[in-house]
Structure formats: structure tokens, C-alpha cells
Amino acid sequence: EVVMTQSPLSLPVTLGQPASISCTSSQGLVHSDGNTYLNWFQQRPGQSPRRLLYQVSKRDSEVPDRFSGSGSGTDFTLKISRVEAEDVGVYYCMQGTDWPPITFGQGTRLEI
């Protein structure tokens, strides 16, 4: 099973400032088809998860461009260039390269 480890687990931020969340996998996430199936999700308080990024860095539709993803191999990062109030919530990384099982990180709580 691929273990996904996020850090930090809690991230206090200031409005307008950047934020960064790290996600490390216990093994490389490059699939045999050449793609890396590493996704990022946002879960606002009281809401369902929403996918922000897929295959490391591809933004889903209507996701603001202040969200970006990077990384390769076992180390990945979600960056928010300038935090806004609506970004408060919990962020999860997820790997879909080596499954079953599909595995999620523990979640990082972003708070203002």
C-alpha cells in the first residue's frame, strides 16, 4: 500500500500571503503509462471534497490560478500564491497510480 504523508497537518496563514503544503509518497508515483496520478482536493467546512489539481499540476475547471501543483517521484507540493478567506478548509493529496488501494494523505488544515 502506498502511504501518503502530508505536512504540515495544520497551517496558519495570513490573508494575501502564500501557502505551501507538502505530500510525500512511500514509493514513486509514475505509472507505467508515463503519467503521475497525484491529485489534490479541497474540503471547505461543511462541504464535500472538491478536486483542485490532477496529475500533479493540471487545474480542474473553475479552479483559480492561485492554486498550483508541482513535484515528481515521491515529493509533491500544493501552493497557493495569495491566500483568500474562501481557501480555509482541509486539503488532501491522493494517489491513483498504484492501487488498490487508492490512498489519501491525512489532510492539512489551512486556517487564517
Cα distance between residue 105 and residue 59, in whole Å: 19
User: Could you tell me which stretch among 16-24, 49-57, 62-70, 75-83 binds other proteins (CB under 8 A)?
Assistant: 49-57
Tell whether residue 36 is a contact of other proteins (CB under 8 A). no
- CB nearer to other proteins: give 20 or 43: 43
Q: Which of 49, 57, 59, 68 contacts other proteins by CB under 8 A? A: 49
Rounded to the nearest whole angstrom, what is the least distance from the CB of residue 82 to other proteins in the complex?
A: 26
Q: Hunting for cell 517521484 — which residue is that?
A: 73
Tell whether residue 67 is a contact of other proteins (CB under 8 A). no
Query: What would the x/- binding string for other proteins be over residues 87 to 106, using CB under 8 A?
Result: ---x-x-x-x--xxxxxxxx
